[in-house]
A = this chain, B = another copy of it.
Amino acid sequence: MNASFSDVSRRALLSSLAALPALSTLVPLPATAQTAAAGDPLPSWNDTDSKKAIVAFVERVTKQGSPDFVPEAERVATFDNDGTLWAEQPMYFQLLFALDRVKALAPQHPEWKTKEPFASLLKGDVRGALAGGEKAIVPIVVATHSGMNSEEFNQIVRDWIATAKHPVTKRLYTEMVYQPMLELVAYLRATGFKTFIVSGGGIDFMRPWTEKIYGIPPENVVGSSGKVKFEFRDSEPVLMRLPEIDFIDDGPGKPVGINEHIGRRPIAAFGNSDGDLQMLQWTKGAGGVRFALIVHHTDAEREWAYDRKSSVGRLDKALDAAQANGWTVVDMKNDWKTIFPFGSK
């Protein structure tokens, strides 16, 4: 199932993602971002160069009187999500959500039985359904992410993420998060940083669970979005989700999304793929001490190993840039003691 699923272009998925608002009643999930030990804020990190670089940066910018001191208001840290905070294999979880939604909606769409890409999908031929690339994925995402109002979509995501299981690990998707990154997010927040997600994924697909899982509230989530329209239905004001892309928060879109949502330039940014390159460049391009980190997926046994040739989370140009510019590259196999809160794949 894996490789075929990966054969979908990132752009195609992004070109059709829409989104949704906040909440607070997800299923109970393992306590995470708050678990850093009192003594060592990064207990799941081995004592290698990556950890040392993180701690050295934080100490430089937070030490009052230091020439590199940055006031709390300006301590903005931005994190990619897929492949940086949670896993992205065998394919972006949001696409798995969309495929599940097609199955759930099929009874209301008898025409899908003979209409591609839905027909193949409903017969269980996922490879065939997605073979059309963008042409296949856009209608799937539109059919599953628009047509309802914002609060209905919110509830759909909440319901799905509360029970859907990862195809390989059979764990909840919200358990497929990286324990070392949860500690890092918590460490930065504990040292006065404002932490934001800046993801190519749908802003409204993430917001229902990011506060619970990462401690990052909806207003600190930046992502791709579809257009919405304010109107009255049955005398109630609603925001209807339209079948139209509004913004793609990927690649050169990430600095644009950061500017629009945050209005400050980050002083630290964390990513794992070429889609994060411009966010890292934008962050490092400012004057002063700035931090850029790439999570390099090097552990085929405990997680997945992929980089330059991968269609999901391709890390090629950004890896070159990291090496040329001395950015921190996390070697998951050697730098992380633990991968997931529950252990390994």
Give me the interface of A with B, judged by CB distance under 8 Å. Answer: 20-22, 24, 71, 73-74, 76, 150, 194, 196, 203-204, 207, 211, 217-221, 225, 228-231, 236-237, 239, 246, 252-253, 255-256, 259-265, 278, 281-282, 285
Contacts and interface: CB of A to CB of B under 8 A. Distances in A.
Contacts of A231: 252
A263 B71 contact: no
Nearest to A71: B24
10 contacts: A24-B73, A73-B217, A218-B263, A218-B264, A219-B219, A230-B252, A230-B256, A236-B285, A237-B255, A237-B281
A259 B24 CA distance: 17
B282 A237 contact: yes
Q: Which DSSP category, helix, strand, loop or mixed, fits chain A's interface?
A: mixed
Contacts of A22: 73-74, 263-265
A260 B73 contact: no
A211 B218 CA distance: 21
Nearest to A150: B259
Contact of A255 (B20, B196, B219, B230): B230
A20 B265 CA distance: 11
A220 B260 CA distance: 11
A11 to B, nearest CB: 16
A263 B203 contact: yes
A2 B194 CA distance: 43
Given A228-B260, A246-B260, A261-B261, 10 more contacts: A21-B265, A22-B264, A150-B259, A203-B260, A203-B263, A218-B263, A228-B259, A231-B252, A237-B282, A239-B256
A257 to B, nearest CB: 10
Nearest to A281: B237
What are the 4 A-B residue pairs with the smallest beta carbon separation, nearest first? A218-B263, A22-B264, A237-B285, A230-B252
B237 A278 contact: yes
B21 A263 contact: yes
A74 to B, nearest CB: 7
